[in-house]
A and B are shown apart, each in its own frame.
Chain A
Amino acid sequence: MSDLTHAAQPSRLSLALASIRHWLRRLAANRSFLLGAILFGSICVLTLLTPLITSVDPNALSVRNRFKPPSDQYLLGTDNLGRDMLSRVLNGARLSLSIGFAVVALNAVFGVFLGAIAGYYRRLDDLLMRLADALMAFPAVLLAIGIAAALGPSAATAIIALAVVYIPRTARVVRASIMVARELDYVQAARAAGARDGRILWHHILPNCLAPLIVQLSFVFAYAVLSEAVLSFLGLSAPPTQPSWGVLIAEGRTYMREAAWLTVIPGIAIAVTVLGLNLLGDGLRDVLDPRMKVEQ
């Protein structure tokens, strides 16, 4: 008899899939998320499809074709050295976005880890938070500049600098939700059952802290892209041979009057990416709001 009812029990996989489908539906219904996903998604898609869109070397000089405004031949024009802007912007996107992803990944790992220990272990909390306070006292960009200047310019430098700047903020967000969750009855029940700390954090507490974390990470991505642009503008990120949006803006700056497109187009690219990420983050926050979760 119990075998029959056992067969009627849905498998874990089908339950998981149903859950995913449910969340996707909820996300798709949120306008902010949708718009953000379209904007950011488009940028991502364009970046991925770069080899298909253009095969022009972003560094190929063509002095004869300098300062060509956007046209049929050069979709986004050319710069002061005749380099194809379309190719430079798209390749620049690759750099900016991959740096963004790297920073987010580091945040996800270290920010969560540090925030979790700070939130769960009271004795470590004080120490970690004072360290975080010290780091956060510096304006983000200045701190990044300082670190990057010390380590020498490169893409890796930019990633490390930005990670250091944003990890304390992410850790704080994680710490806050862990401190709340730590006191809840069901966590006490797990402790009473003899669960190890690791299990409690990973299995019980963190899943309930995902919402603010995901939202925070989407914003970190946006700030990372923006800050990387600043860093590369100042020459502290990847070398100029690797075009990045900040470099493009830096280079085009001198020619603002004659060839405005050299700065405006990379600027728009940054703006669209950051706007898309912010809208995405807002939408995620609305959908993942625990108050709405009850209707699941």
Chain B
Amino acid sequence: MTSPLLSVDGLSKHFPVESSDWLASKQTLRAVDGVSFTLGSRETLGLVGESGCGKSTTGRLILRLIEPTAGTVRFDGQDLATIPKEDLRRLRRSMQIIFQDPQASLNPRHRVEDLILEPLYAQGEAPSAELTRYAGDLLEKVGLSRRHLSRFPHEFSGGQRQRIGIARAIAPKPRLIICDEAVSALDVSVQAQVINLLQDLQDELGMSYLFIGHDLAVVRHVADTMAVMYLGRIVEMAPKDALYRQPMHPYTQALLGSVPVSHPSRRRDRKRLEGEIPSPLNPPSGCHFHPRCRFAQSVCKLEAPALRTVAPGQQAACHFAEQIAAATP
């Protein structure tokens, strides 16, 4: 039994919130609150949730772009917090990220060739004719032309810039790529092209993806396993089919119910989720979801449910997951 590629345990990030009123009590923004999951080779874990759920922060914590407040991240068995800094730096070769905003993710002053090879230069490799050739190969792999190597980012469309970002991410032959809303800013037809590209690359190069997104249909299409986050916590985690066919957490059910239908004939009078998403600065006590949950009981307000196995292969953070599942048709 080989250890998983990525193992996250109890990951938390609390931001102290400064207030200009120094008499006011210090508030903490619990952006990520005790997140745990594992990811194996060649797998894709989809991380979904709405605003304030902490999915993007989770991605950055894993890459250690932000320092966690608590919890461990193990990559290839190594605890990223305890390994020597130089080792961490070299390990970064294997972990890359693709960003949401095609505009901000590429340095406007660098040419495409330098942009793509940056992960290699950062690791100490020197420019060479061979690397230039490699950069050209990467561009072709993502569907652009070698001629584009000497151009600047602003000469490309959003979809093309995203492809350049992908080329940069695969340049150091990583084992893990965090896709942080990588397709959210693209038009539907371009999004489809990029999604197919990401899948093709995974088939060819064998890396794992942590695919972060807010569009359930997109994430479900790409992922093997899905994790639903709400206000900093994972509320449900299951293989994508199981999640869709039998969501065990009331929030997941509500989320699936809110996704726009795929055909007008499926319009139905669905029970919509009421209320607003609470602010992560002031999350409800106990189970964060209890104010909006149809099935809430008094224990839900007092005790935060742990993420536990509620069905084969499925985990949910709800005190009454099994009862709810049994009662719902």
Contact = CB atoms under 8 A, between A and B. Distances in A.
Do A and B touch (CB < 8 Å)?
A: yes
B240 to A, nearest CB: 27
Contact of B89 (A185, A186, A194): A194
A199 B119 CA distance: 12
Contacts of B136: 2, 5-6
A24 interface: no
Nearest to A5: B146
B133 A188 contact: no
B123 A185 contact: no
Interface residues of B, number: 39
A45 interface: no
A248 to B, nearest CB: 45
Interface in B75-118: 89-93, 95-97, 99, 101, 104-109, 111, 115, 118
B99 A189 contact: yes
B139 to A, nearest CB: 11
Nearest to A8: B147
A10 interface: yes
A178 to B, nearest CB: 14
Interface string B156-198: 0000000001001000100000000000000000000000000
A9 B133 CA distance: 11
A185 B150 contact: no
A210 B107 CA distance: 14
A17 to B, nearest CB: 13
Contacts of B168: 189
Contact of B92 (A9, A194, A204): A194
A139 interface: no
A186 B107 contact: yes
Interface in A183-218: 184-186, 188-196, 199, 204, 207-208
A134 interface: no
Interface string A4-20: 01101110000100000
Contacts of B147: 5, 8
B39 interface: no
A208 B111 CA distance: 14
B99 A185 contact: yes
A184 B104 contact: yes
Contacts of A191: 65
B63 A192 contact: yes
B107 A193 contact: no
Give the interface residue-count category, chain A.
20 to 34
B154 interface: yes
| A-side interface mostly | helix
A157 to B, nearest CB: 39
A105 B285 CA distance: 58
Contacts of A185: 99, 101, 104-105
A294 interface: yes
A196 B147 CA distance: 30
Contact of A9 (B89, B107, B149): B149
Given A188-B97, A193-B96, A194-B92, A204 B107 contact: yes
B320 interface: no
A196 B96 CA distance: 16
A184 B95 CA distance: 19
A192 B95 contact: yes
A296 B123 contact: no
B108 A293 contact: yes
B152 interface: yes
B324 interface: no
B217 interface: no
A193 B99 contact: no
Contacts of B109: 207-208
Most buried by A among B107, B111, B154: B107
8 contacts: A192-B65, A193-B122, A193-B123, A199-B121, A199-B122, A290-B108, A293-B108, A296-B152
Interface of B: 60, 63, 65, 89-93, 95-97, 99, 101, 104-109, 111, 115, 118-119, 121-123, 129, 132-133, 136, 146-147, 149-150, 152, 154, 165, 168, 172
Given A5-B136, A186-B107, 19 more contacts: A6-B132, A9-B149, A15-B111, A15-B150, A185-B99, A185-B101, A189-B97, A189-B99, A189-B168, A191-B65, A193-B92, A193-B93, A193-B96, A194-B90, A194-B92, A199-B121, A208-B108, A208-B109, A293-B108
